[in-house]
Structure 1
C-alpha cells in the first residue's frame, strides 16, 4: 500500500523542499512505497506552495483567517489532508496550534520539528531564549505530536554549538541546516520502522 506523506507549511517551505529532495535521492518510492503526496498551507501566499508545485507535488491552501473557530479550521484542514490518505502528516514550519481532536485524528502519524533541544525551550523565540539563558549548545528536535505543545516522543535530535558572537539570526541559520538534515532522516526512519 502506498505510504502518502502530507506536509503542512506556513511559509517558505525550506524543510518541505529538503524532505521532498530526500525522498527522491533516498528512493523512498522504491524502498518504502512512499511519496510526498501533497503540501498544504494555512496561508495561500506561502512561498513553499510555489516550490512544491515546481517539484510536481499537489498543493492546497486552507486559509485559517477564514474560520471563526480553531476547531472549524482544523476540520477543514483534516478534510483536505484526508483527500490524500496520509500515512504520515509532517508539520514543517506550520505555525498553528492544533486542536486535541486534530491531534487525535492523526495520532501516531503526526510529527513536528522544533528548533530547540526539547524539552528545553518549547514555544517561540527559541534561539533568543537559548542565548539569554547562556546555553553552550542549541539544536533541533523531531518529535511525535501530542496535545501538549512541543512535547511527545522524540524521534531525532541534532546539537548545534553556540558560538561566542552568535545572535539569534546566526544561530537560527546554523540550526536550520541541521533541520534540513535530520527531518528527512527521521521520516526515513519512521518509514523503515
Structure 2
C-alpha cells in the first residue's frame, strides 16, 4: 500500500513540464530541485513496472514523477475521453518526509522501494490516467497545472496521476515507449 502522504499544497507552481518521448513513457517535472539531491519513492512490481517520485528533502516539495517502465498488459486504450478530475486543491503537493526519517533517523536512505503493485494506465485520445496504488474509495484531486493532476485517497496517500490535454504525438510516443 502506497504510503507517500501529502501534508499540504502550496500555491501555484512556477514551473511544470510533461515530457513523453519514445524511450521514457512519462517524465513530469513540478518543481526545480535547484541542485538538491532529491529523495525517491519507487513503486511498481519491481520487474515490469517502475515509477519514481522525487521529493525535495529540505521542504517536501513534489519535484518530479517519472514512469520508467510499465507492463503493456496493464495499459488499456479507450476511444472516449476520460472524465476530467474535479479539483479539490490547486498547487504543488508537499510530501510528509517522516517515512524517510523513520528508516534511518535522517535522509541517508534516499530511496524507498514499494514493489507490490502493478501500475495500470488508461489511455484516451487526449489523456492518460495512471493508477499507482490500490484505491477503492473516492479520489481527491490536486491540480498541479492545466495538464497535471495528482489523486489521493482519504488518507492523503497518492494513488493516481492524471495527464490531460495531451497531443496525438504525446499519446503516440507513450504507446511507442511501452512497446
* Coarse TM-score class (shorter-chain normalised): under 0.3
Of structures 1 and 2, the one with the larger relative CO (CA 8 A, separation 6+) is 2
TM-score w.r.t. length of structure 1: 0.25
TM-score w.r.t. length of structure 2: 0.26
Comparing both structures, which one devotes a greater share of its residues to strand? Answer: 2
Larger Rg: 1
